[in-house]
A and B are shown apart, each in its own frame.
Chain A
């Protein structure tokens, strides 16, 4: 599996080159790798139907139980096939959809990066591996939403999605770490085999709440749902791929994946059922008032995600089965409808439902696709959508808790969903013709192939539900419900109450659809951004945060070096002083009795240089005095057996003098600006900090731990690290990760300095 993910990452690197070499067929070329992977995953179906799992692992941070582990069972396989399969079609579609876009290479790069991350997410077998890929999908999604970065709306939407899902990601990280700590393992397979201990753990509520928050933010559940409609700023293939089939399903995947570990408790049921139920109703209620085709589809996606969360929350065997069928059906018809929207937009230049109509004659293939997808979404025989809806009703009718509210919510959601489906898939094609001919010519094969294949799969999976169930769905269900063997699925359930509900839904939906103009007139009067809308709350919070940051910056970064130093020194001494008070007694080591003359002279030189630096009225003298202090300290290092430190100190002093020379002529005149009383405060602060540092050093020296450490390094440096220079072996071997972090910070700091200096010169030029 490692190679599968790596191959897509490699594809991402090659994408810009491919586009440069063969732009016209780049979509087809980009589809080769995902297509091959789809075939490979399909070939694993038989193995997974027999109950086998694949596992691959690399060490990462073994001491913390963190490993780069991949793990493939029925559930991962279902998602992997969706990711690669739909990915193939989206690649082909994008090549044509964005054929004249100058940044097609960057687009393919980002899309493949996302695909690889998503694949890694569903194949992850370790909690931290999962989190890593989870965040990668957030970041790549940020870049894809903001693909048209010159548009402000795109940038804002990208930031919104990043912030919302990013906060969810932080919560998820907390939840995963707590879970790993509570269970004693980060490995998913071990967690799945662990018993009920986790559910009785004191941290269980916190774990569920944090993980659910991450999943809800990612899967656009109320109150985090608002980022998804905004994310429609992304190019349509991205919406089809990320915001209907893959990324928004990541939260669903996580809930399914963890439901054997965390599910089955009142907290789990309550949280998922209530949030899922609210989301499925709210999403579809907002959907029917939309006139933008993509936003309409986005809101129905929110509703469908709510349905999935609701079903997972019910947590009876049949509900998991229903959730997986619904998920498959939704992926097939929703991707179709999004791609169809893209095709319409590409051909006519608009996706506003009020401007569309009568297109069927001009684009018969896409028209047929649209009608069929509508039927699947509405849940008509023989589409898989029908089965999804049937199972949904069947589950709700036998719901273990709150049966009547559940049935009502389901009925209302389904009726409105049928209406929304008709608005999305029928309105553009029928009714009064708005276009005499297509402004941008006939629809190219690259644009209708993807939706056509997807909608055909929607029929195919419905008609051949037997094998689909046996090879694709049952292994996935057993992954979520270990030991449960579901009854085989069949398309036709006979004349049951469920069928009556289905027919009622269709009639209700048709009625709502026929009154859609009244509905739009009625809802059109609502204010665009009412105060209770999550979107508005987000805007308020964000501007509040900016205002707060602004004020805080004005206080802390006031531009006066004196205050910066005062802040640092006072907080340091408060912290050190309170630590000393907290730990009570301080035992100082006995002073060295044999102080040599050399030491005394050195100390005298340093002290007098410090006095001169503080008192002198000329800058050059002050700099020289500071240099003397630095070199004096370096000599102390040399004297007490730390040649490395001494050499570093010498070099640093030299470079500092160089820096001073370079900026010397630009500095203002050296003068005493501070009042005498202010400077007496400085004296007090300086003395306090110096005194506390002295005490701290003495205490540190007398602490027994230090000698243990130095003994360890002294013993181990030659046998373990092949070096006699202890300082260096610590830097480059024992604690190399720290050093890596330090040099990264150093590099960043130099970029910061560069930016500040360049900014200054740009400002000067503009003036």
Chain B
């Protein structure tokens, strides 16, 4: 049962929800948001796509197996923890740097953001692994 209204809306909505999830991830350190919420919302975006289309098309859209997203996320989170060890501080010590971007002003970038990105990927990957497999096997 394909609904043309649903598929069309989904085509428009999915990128916007994904953008919103990235927005939540990036601002998470200062304002409500973060990797966990961002990952869940991104999963909802792909979940919507899954309902409107099917598992195969969702996999094509993702390009990467959601299981690999989980391991990638764990590696990113671990790697961000190792960044702290470079200067003889314990594992997972946050490291921060500031960048001056021409018109935007100063941007603070730190290893916690990478860690949060890892959380984002793991949450997204786990939720999608469950959803897509349920769709395929159910």
Q: Using a CB–CB distance below 8 Å, which chain A residues touch chain B? A: 58-62, 643-644, 647-648, 651-652, 654-655, 658-659, 661-663, 665-666, 721-725, 727-729, 731-733, 736-737, 739-740, 743-744, 746-747, 749-751, 753-754, 757-758, 760-761
Contact = CB atoms under 8 A, between A and B. Distances in A.
B94 A659 contact: no
B44 A651 contact: yes
Contacts of A62: 90
A728 B33 contact: yes
B37 A747 contact: no
Interface string B20-62: 0000100011111111110011011001001100000000000
Contact of A655 (B33, B40, B74): B40
A726 to B, nearest CB: 10
B138 interface: yes
Interface string B66-80: 010011011001100
B18 interface: no
A662 B31 contact: no
Given A644-B34, A722-B112, 9 more contacts: A60-B91, A644-B37, A648-B40, A723-B30, A724-B29, A728-B29, A729-B112, A739-B119, A757-B133
A655 B32 contact: no
B38 to A, nearest CB: 9
B108 interface: yes
Contact of A747 (B29, B34, B89, B125): B125
B138 A747 contact: no
Contacts of B130: 659, 750, 753-754
Contacts of A758: 133, 137
B33 A725 contact: yes
Contacts of A662: 131, 134-135, 138
A729 B88 CA distance: 22
A658 B122 CA distance: 19
Contact of B34 (A659, A732, A746): A732
A652 to B, nearest CB: 7
B47 to A, nearest CB: 4
B35 A666 contact: no
A727 B33 CA distance: 9
Interface string B93-106: 01010000000000
Nearest to B43: A655
Contacts of B37: 644, 647-648, 651
B77 A648 contact: no
9 contacts: A647-B33, A722-B96, A724-B31, A725-B32, A725-B33, A732-B113, A736-B112, A743-B123, A749-B126
Nearest to A724: B30
Interface residues of B, number: 55
Nearest to A59: B90
Nearest to B85: A58
B110 interface: yes
Interface of B: 24, 28-37, 40-41, 43-44, 47, 50-51, 67, 70-71, 73-74, 77-78, 81, 85, 88-92, 94, 96, 108, 110, 112-113, 115-116, 118-119, 122-123, 125-127, 129-131, 133-135, 137-138
B131 to A, nearest CB: 6
Given A659-B134, A754-B67, A761-B137, A725 B40 contact: no
B91 to A, nearest CB: 7
Contacts of B122: 743, 746-747
Contacts of A749: 126
Contacts of A654: 40, 44, 47
B129 A754 contact: yes
B119 to A, nearest CB: 6
Contacts of B81: 736, 740
Nearest to B112: A732
A442 B12 CA distance: 74
Contacts of A744: 74
Contact of B116 (A659, A732, A753): A732
A666 B112 CA distance: 42
Contact of A652 (B34, B40, B71): B40
Contact of B29 (A651, A723, A754): A723
Given A739-B119, A740-B81, A754-B67, A746 B92 contact: no
Contact of B41 (A60, A61, A651, A724): A651
Contacts of A648: 36-37, 40
Contacts of A760: 137
Contacts of B115: 732, 736, 739-740
A733 B137 contact: no
B20 to A, nearest CB: 11
B29 A732 contact: yes
Nearest to B121: A743
A746 B130 CA distance: 11
Contacts of A652: 40
Contacts of B40: 648, 651-652, 654-655
Contacts of B74: 743-744, 747
Nearest to B34: A728
Contacts of A729: 29, 112
B29 A722 contact: yes
A668 to B, nearest CB: 14
Contacts of B67: 750-751, 754
A423 B78 CA distance: 54
Interface centre among B36, B44, B77, B112 (most CB of A within 10 A): B36
A663 B130 CA distance: 11
A747 B126 CA distance: 6
B116 A728 contact: yes
B22 to A, nearest CB: 15
Given A655-B47, A740-B92, A732 B119 contact: yes
Contacts of B88: 58-59
A743 B123 CA distance: 7
Nearest to A651: B40
B77 A746 contact: no
B18 to A, nearest CB: 14
